Amino acid sequence: MENINLIDTFAEFKELKNIDRVTMMSVLEEAFRSVLVRQYESDDNFDIIINIDKGDFEIWRNRTIVADDALEDPNMEITLTEALKIDEDFEVGEDVTDEVKLVDFGRRAILNLRQNLASKILELEKDYIYGKYKTKIGDIVTGEVYQVWKKEILILDDEGNELILPKSEQIPSDYFRKGDNVRAIVYKVELRNNNPLIILSRTAPKFLERLFELEIPEIFDGLITIKNIVRVPGERAKVAVESYDERIDPVGACVGMKGSRIHGIVRELRNENIDVINYSSNLQLFIKRALNPAKINSIKIREEGKKAEVYLKPEEVSLAIGKGGLNIRLASQLTGYEIDVYREMEEDDEDVNLDEFADEIESWVIDALKGIGCDTAKNVLNIPKKELAKRTDLEEETIDDVFKVLGSEFE
């Protein structure tokens, strides 16, 4: 009975485990030999034949025939009387090979063998999963939602391996139910308590890059290169692309006719607004494109501190900054330069230097405003209060007081 159970276990391993044949054979033989050593103190004279396809095995022992009164090592030798029971033609000095049945080892030995095998196979399976996904970091995988929890989602791949999509790596508007198919990239692979932990992400810029490769053949073929990607997941993304073939318009190729190519990516990312920008090594031109749709009049680059001062008409400021400062923040990340926006005033416009208000506004507040490039009253008044608070770290009450003081100057 125990023999049959063990054979069933082999068959189960053969069907369900992702372990190569050579490794499996080695593990099984090692397990059997460990039992033989415990049982007979040596396994040197044993041959083990394993047939994984059939889920079967045989153990054969080789012994030398000795006279009945000369037996010294029952494991390596067999008496003539016992040998003649196997074959009547045997003589002293000849070798005998007979099969050893697993049931002869005893129930406890068989149980230990099963446990040892299960432990070895589980360890190999963990190594296989870890190695498989370690090479897939940054690649897109698809799985089925198996369990939804508050802080993470459990996903199963097509082999039944468990993948984790944390809440922090989900797009804010993502909503999944059991049975849903999910696409994400393999973000990182760790060993936790000797168990492989595969973390997925839908918020990483790499996920958007891989989606572009899937949807746009020119990127997949290397005709168009993605230079940089920045994004606020579910809100907005900026993708800088470049083509080395003058005949190819990289932005047009990525967007497609009437947005046909990018539409699938936008839908996958829960309607994330994607700006595709033509990359340029000309920094001023690149910054102008990054601040699209705002129209820039002029730019001053300060290499020290990697800052860019952008000047534009007052009506273009809100476009450059974007809702909640999103456009200018992403443009800064895309170009690698901290961008400050300034309104370009007409010559006949009156303005007052902030230092003129030193009696009414505390010096540290003026310094904070100057720190973001606001040297005049109109510079400050033309920036939305919330954006000003965010960029200066000043309290909203303080900014309200500043606006009252500065505003009164032009009433």
Cβ-Cβ contacts under 8 Å for 385 (sequence gap 6 or more): 396, 399, 400, 403
In the chain, domain spans = 2-131, 141-203, 354-408
Query: Is the model's pLDDT at 253 over the cut of 50?
Result: yes
pLDDT tens for 151-197 read 999 999 998 899 999 999 999 999 999 999 999 999 999 988 889 99
CA distance 150 to 172: 13
Q: Kindly state the tokens that stand for 400.
A: 């309200």
For residue 293, is the peptide bond before it cis, meaning its omega torsion is within 30 degrees of 0? Answer: yes
Task: Give, to the nearest 10 degrees, the angle between helix 396-408 and helix 385-392.
Answer: 120
Q: Are strands 152-156 and 162-166 parallel, antiparallel or unpaired?
A: antiparallel
pLDDT tens for 65-103 read 989 888 888 888 889 888 888 888 888 888 988 888 877
CA distance 13 to 29: 15
Q: Do domains 2-131 and 141-203 have the same CATH topology?
A: no
CA distance 232 to 334: 12
Confidence label for 377 from pLDDT (cuts 50, 70 and 90): confident
Most confident of 108-112, 156-160, 230-234, 348-352: 230-234
Question: Higher confidence at residue 129 or residue 118?
Answer: 129
Query: Is the model's pLDDT at 285 over the cut of 90?
Result: yes
Closest CA to 391 of 308, 307, 329, 316: 329
Amino acid identity of residue 317, one-letter, is V
Confidence label for 1 from pLDDT (cuts 50, 70 and 90): very low
SS3 category, 313: coil
Contact by Cβ (8 Å): 215, 207? no
The per-residue pLDDT of the chain, averaged, comes to 86
**Whole-model pTM over 0.75:** no
Q: 141-203 has which CATH code?
A: 2.40.50.140
CA distance 47 to 32: 10
Q: How far is CA 197 from CA 147, 179, 227, in A?
A: 16, 21, 31
Confidence label for 344 from pLDDT (cuts 50, 70 and 90): confident
SS3 category, 38: helix
DSSP state of 376: B
Topology, domain 2-131? N Utilization Substance Protein A; Chain:P; domain 4 (3.30.1480)
**Residue 399 burial (CB count, 10 A):** 20
pLDDT tens for 316-327 read 888 898 888 899
Q: How far is CA 71 from CA 43, 75, 76, 78, 90, in A?
A: 19, 10, 9, 7, 16
Most confident of 228-232, 350-354, 378-382: 228-232
What is the DSSP annotation of 28-39? HHHHHHHHHHHH
Contact by Cβ (8 Å): 168, 200? no
Confidence label for 249 from pLDDT (cuts 50, 70 and 90): very high
Contact by Cβ (8 Å): 31, 61? no
Query: Is the model's pLDDT at 141 over the cut of 90?
Result: yes
Contact by Cβ (8 Å): 389, 354? no
